[in-house]
């Protein structure tokens, strides 16, 4: 690279602007990544992407804690955590189902099914 002097400054700025324009064109031509990835995708993502796409309400530390406790499905390569997108979506959906508050009718139906199975109250 040649030395830039006061006399060559306009040419150097022109060259820099051309390179920036070329880089911007290359960036514009890159394929875009959608925020909402299909839940059935069987691919591995890092903690930032799993937090953004599956657990947006959680902080990173919450995800680390769930992994440490063995609650959240993950893989470790060296010190890096990787998450299977499909498995994490299924885990989240199962957790949401478990935490669902039952209506009085659902509780009544379960109680009647239990009593019918046990032969009634003695």
Same domain, 9 and 25: yes
Q: pLDDT tens, 18-37? A: 999 988 888 877 765 444 54
Same domain, 65 and 49: yes
Q: Which domain holds residue 83?
A: 39-122
Same domain, 71 and 101: yes
Count of domains for the chain: 2
**pLDDT less than 50: residues of the chain:** 33-35, 37, 39
Same domain, 24 and 44: no
Q: Give alpha helix (H) positions in the chain.
A: 9-28, 47-53, 60-68, 85-98, 104-118
> pLDDT at position 106, please?
77
Can you give the pTM of this predicted structure? 0.49
Same domain, 46 and 78: yes
Residue 78's φ and ψ, nearest 5 degrees, are 65, -125
Same domain, 85 and 43: yes
> pLDDT at position 107, please?
79
> pLDDT at position 82, please?
95
- What does the block give as tokens for 111? 């109680």
Same domain, 50 and 84: yes
């Amino acid at each position: 690279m040649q030395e830039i002097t006061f006399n060559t400054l306009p040419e150097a700025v022109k060259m820099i602007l051309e390179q920036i324009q070329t880089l911007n064109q290359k960036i514009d031509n890159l394929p875009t990544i959608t925020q909402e990835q299909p839940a059935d995708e069987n691919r591995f993502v890092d903690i930032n992407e799993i937090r953004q796409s599956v657990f947006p309400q959680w902080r990173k530390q919450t995800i680390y804690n769930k992994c440490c406790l063995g609650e959240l499905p993950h893989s470790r390569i060296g010190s890096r955590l990787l998450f299977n997108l499909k498995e994490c979506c299924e885990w989240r959906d199962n957790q949401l189902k478990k935490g669902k508050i039952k209506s009085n009718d659902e509780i009544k139906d379960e109680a009647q099914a239990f009593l019918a199975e046990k032969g009634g109250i003695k």
